[in-house]
Amino acid sequence: MLATRPDTNTVAVTRTFDGIEQATHRVIEQVGGMEAVIRGAKMAILKPNFVAGRNAASGSTTSFALLKAVAEEVRSCGAQPVLCETPGTEFDREATYTILGVEKFCAENDIHILRVDPEGGTGDWMEVQPAGAKKLRKFHILRILQEARLINLPVLKTHVVSTMTLSMKNPMGILPRPDRRSMHTFGIDQSIVDMNLAIKPDLNIVDGSVGQDGEGPLYGDKANLQVLIAGHDSLAVDLACCDVVGVNPRHIPHLKLALQQLGMPSWQRVGEDVGIIKKFRLPVQKGLYKFVFWMMYPLDYPYTWIAERGKHLCTTLYGTGLVGTRPKIHEDKCTHCGTCVEACPLPDVIDLKTLKVNYKTCQRCLLCYEACPENAISVKGYSGARQ
Ligand code: SF4
Ligand code: SF4
């Protein structure tokens, strides 16, 4: 985890036409093999992107096939794969795991799950103050990373707040929520660069098996890229990702800052010459949306002084059903067939009698919307989901 930046980085690009698992084994081999990552450690933390309960087929989250192949490689080096991820603050971790089927998948593939206290504390976390940090001067990283390796498994997708989310942004999901709040409050772009001064994954594999552009990271357009991009240096990997989706990295604010402050990494590309697979449409940055979204974070400080531990302003706001992307059932079109209730992975969210959705427990996965045979469910709120 605390490896120094290599002089020359190898970044491998491979397509997933022969299956994601096969491609994962291949891309690991192309960047020097898993032994060079594990280096005698007994444990490797696998950090996927499980930001919310939107499955990998939507291009929102890391595919299980990738995780399975990485876990096999880790075990073959004598180390235990351990999954660690906390979804976005507005989502519940256990409900997200239920929707995605994380427990079952990990049990079947001998992957341990590390459930850290998302609110911080000294049990799971240790403070770091990276030299040269400009905004995020003090934050907390997983204590276990002193002995474990970190394998970062982001998704290749756009993000309405940070424009894109790749290797450099993905470790935010293993920071405690108070530090994530600081990142948003102080400025997400510089904070991502600062975070990377202390968190240097031993390996990154970006999952572009689907990916997402437009209004990502949850409700954008599926990109169907069928590519994996791997390497040891997060910035070099992210630059390679930009290449395959035709994006100028200087148009991604945190990558632009990283290039200015960390310098252009020296990297050589191996694997397939894929050119531009799909020219990504970057999200339209609505100023008002960005401001309102940002305001939730500074206002969360006074809110958490009076609220129960673990409660945050954004969770409460989304729970009102007045903001955020959310399903709404239209009585005039609904036949009360019950398909949406069956499609919902969580209990007691949709009331078939009243046709109301309980927004306090709904995790906005939109499986009900996709399942409704009558098009009786619409999606309200800022979203790239088609109405
Ligand atoms: S699936 Fe559609 S039609 Fe059936 S109960 Fe749900 S909202 Fe009504
Ligand atoms: S009500 Fe719909 S969007 Fe909400 S959790 Fe259930 S399936 Fe997902």
Q: Are residues 111 and 237 located together in one domain of the fold?
A: yes
Longest dimension (CA), the chain: 64
Closest to 97 in 3D by CA, of 85, 109, 108: 85
Q: Are residues 118 and 152 located together in one domain of the fold?
A: yes
pLDDT at 4 over 90: no
User: Nearest ligand, CA of residue 344?
Assistant: 2
Write out pLDDT tens, residues 139-169.
999 999 999 999 999 999 999 899 999 999 9
357 lines ligand 2 (CB under 6 A): yes
Ligand 1 centre distance from Cα of residue 331 (Å): 9
Q: Are residues 211 and 90 located together in one domain of the fold?
A: yes
pLDDT value for 322: 87
pLDDT value for 286: 74
Stated as kind and residue range, the H or E segment containing 25 is: helix 20-30
pLDDT at 365 over 80: yes
339 lines ligand 1 (CB under 6 A): yes
Q: Are residues 252 and 297 located together in one domain of the fold?
A: no
Ligand 2 centre distance from Cα of residue 369 (Å): 8
Q: Are residues 297 and 377 located together in one domain of the fold?
A: no
Q: Are residues 309 and 327 located together in one domain of the fold?
A: no
pLDDT at 382 over 60: no
Whether 253 is in a domain gets the answer yes
Q: Are residues 197 and 68 located together in one domain of the fold?
A: yes
Whether 288 is in a domain gets the answer no
Query: Are the CB atoms for 175 and 119 separated by under 8 Å?
Result: no
Write out pLDDT tens, residues 170-209.
999 999 999 999 999 999 999 999 999 999 999 999 999 9
Number of structural domains, the chain? 3
pLDDT value for 386: 44
Q: Are residues 297 and 363 located together in one domain of the fold?
A: no
Q: Are residues 249 and 306 located together in one domain of the fold?
A: no
CA dist list (Å): 187 to 181, 190, 191: 10, 6, 6
pLDDT value for 380: 85
pLDDT value for 289: 76
pLDDT at 91 over 80: yes
pLDDT value for 109: 98
Amino acid at 85: E
Q: Are residues 160 and 13 located together in one domain of the fold?
A: yes
Whether 376 is in a domain gets the answer yes
Atom nearest to 367 CA in ligand 2: 7
Percent of the chain at pLDDT above 90? 86
pLDDT at 7 over 80: no
Domain that holds residue 300: 293-319
Whether 1 is in a domain gets the answer no
Give 237's Cβ-side CA count (13 Å radius): 34
Q: Whose CA is nearest to atom 8 of ligand 2?
A: 365
Whether 287 is in a domain gets the answer no
Q: Whose CA is nearest to atom 4 of ligand 2?
A: 362
User: Nearest ligand, CA of residue 371?
Assistant: 1
Which of 332, 342, 374 is the best mutation target for the ligand 1 pocket, counting ligand atoms within 8 Å of the beta carbon and taking the most?
Answer: 374
Q: What is the CATH classification number for the domain harbouring 173?
A: 3.40.50.11440
pLDDT at 3 over 50: no
Ligand 2 centre distance from Cα of residue 381 (Å): 15
Peptide bond just before 118 cis, omega within 30 deg: no
Q: How confident is the model at residue 27 (pLDDT cuts 50, 70, 90)?
A: very high
pLDDT value for 284: 85
Q: How confident is the model at residue 8 (pLDDT cuts 50, 70, 90)?
A: low
Q: How confident is the model at residue 385 (pLDDT cuts 50, 70, 90)?
A: very low
Mean pLDDT of 241-259: 98
Whether 69 is in a domain gets the answer yes
pLDDT at 64 over 80: yes
Query: Tokens 């894109």 map to which residue?
Result: 164
The DSSP letter of residue 60 is S
Which of 331, 333, 335 is the best mutation target for the ligand 1 pocket, counting ligand atoms within 8 Å of the beta carbon and taking the most?
Answer: 335
Q: How many whole angstroms separate alpha carbon 61 and alpha carbon 41?
A: 27
pLDDT value for 5: 46
Q: What is the CATH classification number for the domain harbouring 356?
A: 3.30.70.20
Q: Are residues 358 and 234 located together in one domain of the fold?
A: no
Whether 282 is in a domain gets the answer no
Mean pLDDT of 124-128: 97
Atom nearest to 369 CA in ligand 2: 2
Atom nearest to 371 CA in ligand 1: 1
Mean pLDDT computed over every residue of the chain: 94
Whether 22 is in a domain gets the answer yes
Query: Are the CB atoms for 383 and 219 separated by under 8 Å?
Result: yes
Q: Whose CA is nearest to atom 8 of ligand 1?
A: 334
Q: Which residue has the higher pLDDT, 371 or 287?
A: 371
pLDDT value for 291: 84
Q: Are residues 55 and 129 located together in one domain of the fold?
A: yes
Q: Which residue has the higher pLDDT, 4 or 203?
A: 203
Stated as kind and residue range, the H or E segment containing 155 is: strand 155-159
